[in-house]
Amino acid sequence: MAKTKEVVRYRCGECGYLSLTLVGKCPSCDAWGSFVKEAPVSLAAKPQAAARPIAALDAEPPQRLSSHIEELDRVLGGGWVPGGVVLLGGEPGVGKSTLLLQSCAAIAQNTQKAQKRCRVLYISGEESAGQLALRMRRLGLEAPGLDLICGFDLPGALEAAEGYDFLVVDSVQAFRIGEESGWAGSPNQVRASAALVAETAKRAQIPAVLVGHITKAGQIAGPKLLEHLVDVVLLFSGEKTSLNRLLRAEKNRFGSTEELGIFEMTGAGLRPVADPSHLYWSAASEEVSGVALCATLEGTRPLMAEIQALACTTPFPYPKRTARGIEVNRLQ
């Protein structure tokens, strides 16, 4: 009988680099103090997996589930993909939960080709059921088939996800897996929570969405491994002085990353902007000195935008030219 040997490994919480010894600085990403001890790994011989010829694999395009929000479907590439995991990141208050609640309610209300209503499960670890219910009533999003689970027990909530057609987890930094080390939001816990959601989505073949926090630098909080675990990474952004919100795809295994979704925050929730050209030019009837109109392309969407120039005298022998929203070298 072959002997088994257990090996203790340490994983970097930022990039996923594995080491057999505990080191202070990761040799891969140069992060300090990021290594976390993993459960012992058995080196016993395992049966070899059978290889399959790629020509014999079923390569049919997936039947997407529409979000029923045109701008969101544009960025996703046509809708949510069964078994696909989407990570949605954005600053606090930008409207991530509002956007997902609107999509959940629309999916639950609309009947699919199978003549059955889709069941949607929204798992929240940051808000109570009362808070979500008040917001949904204010936005008029009450719909049969939309269920809520509020709490910090992610494994128990995911067990109830069987039989649903769409899953949202808000947010991945709010949950804690009991057998993993660290507190909620730590790299080890974030990685374990995301892996558990991805495993559930692949096994049940349902679309799943993870909501992620944003750091001061504008990056998604948590280990970089989090973005590798998911299929799509979306960033929802907007300026504090504007009601407009922009949705972009940083990663998309099922579509393009060049598309742009534009929304407007209103009292009734997020409203897609069908014609965003008026957002970037004044449409003045009179000609104004120093203003030029140009056409640009964002993904498959043409936009009209104004370029405004402001000049003033300078006491220096060489003038200094600066630009905002356009590359300085192109301005020169």
For every residue of 127-168, DSSP letters joined together read S-HHHHHHHHHHHT---TTEEEEESS-HHHHHHTTTT-SEEE
* Confidence at residue 296, expressed as pLDDT on a 0 to 100 scale: 84
Q: pLDDT tens across 72-127, in order?
A: 999 999 999 999 999 999 999 899 999 999 999 999 988 654 456 789 999 999 99
* Confidence at residue 114, expressed as pLDDT on a 0 to 100 scale: 47
Element (H, E) at 197: helix 187-204
Spell out the residues 6+ positions from residue 103 whose beta carbon is closer than 8 angstroms to its own.
Answer: 67, 68, 69, 72
Residue-wise DSSP of 158-170: HHTTTT-SEEEEE
The rounded distance, in Å, linking the Cα atoms of 67 and 115 is 17
* Confidence at residue 332, expressed as pLDDT on a 0 to 100 scale: 82
* Confidence at residue 15, expressed as pLDDT on a 0 to 100 scale: 79
Of the candidates 122, 140, 147, the residue with the CA atom closest to the CA atom of residue 211: 122
Q: Which residues of the chain have pLDDT under 70?
A: 1-5, 41-46, 111-116
* Confidence at residue 116, expressed as pLDDT on a 0 to 100 scale: 67
Cα dist from 56 to 52, 59, 205, whole Å: 7, 9, 21
Cα dist from 172 to 158, 233, 299, whole Å: 13, 13, 30
Burial class (CB in 10 A: 0-12, 13-18, 19+), 305: middle
